[in-house]
Amino acid sequence: MKSADRPLHIVMTVLHTSPLARPGSADAGGLNVVVSSTAQEIARSGHKVSLVSRKTSTDMPEVVNDVYGIKGLNAYFLPAGPSHPFAKSETDVLIEPFTQEFFNWWETYGHDVDIIHSHHWFAGESSLPVAREAKVPHIQSYHSVAAEVGENLEAGEQPESEMRIPGESFCAAHSDLILAVSEAERDMIARRYNPTIPIPVVYPGVDTDMFRPVGCGKPHCREGKARIAQLTNKDPYIFFAARLQPLKGADLAIEALARIPSEERPILIIAGEASQDFAGYEESLHKRAYECGVAENIRYVGSLSRPELACMISYSDVMVTPSYSETFGIINLEAAACGVPVVAWNKTGLKESVINGVTGTLCETRDPEEWAQAIVNYLRDPELRAKHAQAGRRHAQAHTWEAVAEKYVDIYRQCQGKYVK
């Protein structure tokens, strides 16, 4: 068999979260969706994928073979540091222990590995020593890029420790390729770290079978409909789904809700949880809602399973994504697949996950009045909502995870043979 045709063994490393964790809980988000979804499709196409992360509880198994029943997709949870969750701001202390445990893992499982693909700088910095000693190409995905100290949230995620910016720079300097999820992320990486290696862009995909419009007949939609009716009393609702932290801008969604006339005001459902680093943020949202006089219009539902999320989106009237900064904004593509228009900010990667005037509306400012008007335009105009819903579904159908996985494998093969073992 030619080397270009043989199945690959790809290792995907993640340190600060399990790739199998539920998005919207703690520090799990779009990264988890991308890693899990691409790994599944790559394994389904006949390759071997090893997901390597950290053991975060004493009852967590160290190995799970054939994850989700997919042959060749295996997960390994290394005993790097104490077996409990760490706040993201404290995770840098786990880099050296993870590196050592990854070396130990490599002695048993690394003989046929072709590529190490690290997700987030924590994983990159801890995996690069193994990649270099083993002479295996290393690919870095950031998923979020730190803002410089003192910059506002629009510039990116605030660094959770003083090691983050040097760590991201280290990954850019020593990896063989950086894989970005949007042009915005690529530009941000190039501007921050000026790497001399390729930075191809592969947009995320969406499961258009799970995320689809109302009336699909899926069990999760039938089961979720009753819960939604209970939450909303069958009134219109707008939907926000993200980790609860300042970067995601849930406070702007609340303030926009308050600007909608009371006789037209919908319910706002907020899905997501706060991580350890933002433990008091949800309480601040409750306080802001009371101050704005809209507390009775808001429902908090915590983190949702993927089927629950798909159901909650599909029954909503409008999706709101008021993040200050996103490398892409995968939730917007999921909303499009559900036939739900999105209102988001016209900045960073959000501009690439929403087609303005086609699949949603991009707001030019963070003025709650502008956001309220964008939401009301959809609530008042069912034809506009239907038009953008149909366009969104068509757009989403062109972005499957199968296609994303094919592009990943093509990139992996391009990196093969870089080192002579």
Query: Domain map of the chain by residue range?
Result: 9-205+400-415, 219-397
Q: What pLDDT is recorded for position 85?
A: 84
Q: What pLDDT is recorded for position 156?
A: 59
**Is the pLDDT confidence value at 3 over 70?**
no
**Is the pLDDT confidence value at 26 over 80?**
no
Q: What is the DSSP letter of 8?
A: P
pTM score > 0.85 for this model?
Answer: yes
Using alpha carbons, list the distances in angstroms from residue 272 to 26, 154, 232, 269, 341.
Answer: 9, 21, 18, 10, 20
Strand ranges across the sheet with 138-141: 63-64, 73-78, 48-54, 9-13, 115-119, 138-141, 177-178
pLDDT average, residue stretch 185-194: 94
* For the chain, percent of residues with pLDDT exceeding 90: 77
**Homologous superfamily, domain 9-205+400-415:** Glycogen Phosphorylase B; (3.40.50.2000)
Provide the token pair at 384. 């506009």
Average pLDDT, rounded, for the chain: 92
The per-residue pLDDT for range 318-342, each reduced to its tens digit, is 999 999 999 999 999 999 999 999 9
pLDDT average, residue stretch 211-238: 78
Q: What pLDDT is recorded for position 113?
A: 97
What lies within 8 Å, CB to CB, of 232 at 6+ separation is 267, 269, 299
**Is the pLDDT confidence value at 23 over 90?**
no
Using pLDDT thresholds of 50, 70 and 90, give the confidence band for residue 158: low
**Is the pLDDT confidence value at 353 over 80?**
yes
Q: How far apart are CA 361 and CA 23, in angstroms?
A: 25
The per-residue pLDDT for range 290-299, each reduced to its tens digit, is 999 999 999 9
Range with the largest mean pLDDT of 102-106, 213-217, 226-230, 232-236: 102-106
**Is the pLDDT confidence value at 173 over 50?**
yes
Q: How far apart are CA 102 and CA 94, in angstroms?
A: 12
**Homologous superfamily, domain 219-397:** Glycogen Phosphorylase B; (3.40.50.2000)
Question: Does 219-397 match 9-205+400-415 at the fold level?
Answer: yes
Using pLDDT thresholds of 50, 70 and 90, give the confidence band for residue 2: very low
The per-residue pLDDT for range 362-419, each reduced to its tens digit, is 999 999 999 999 999 999 999 999 999 999 999 999 999 999 999 999 999 999 877 6
Q: What pLDDT is recorded for position 91?
A: 86
Q: How far apart are CA 145 and CA 327, in angstroms?
A: 8
**Is the pLDDT confidence value at 164 over 50?**
yes
The per-residue pLDDT for range 225-247, each reduced to its tens digit, is 778 988 988 789 999 999 999 99
Q: What pLDDT is recorded for position 288?
A: 97
Q: What pLDDT is recorded for position 150?
A: 65
Helices (H) and strands (E) in the chain, counts: 14, 13
Q: What pLDDT is recorded for position 4?
A: 64
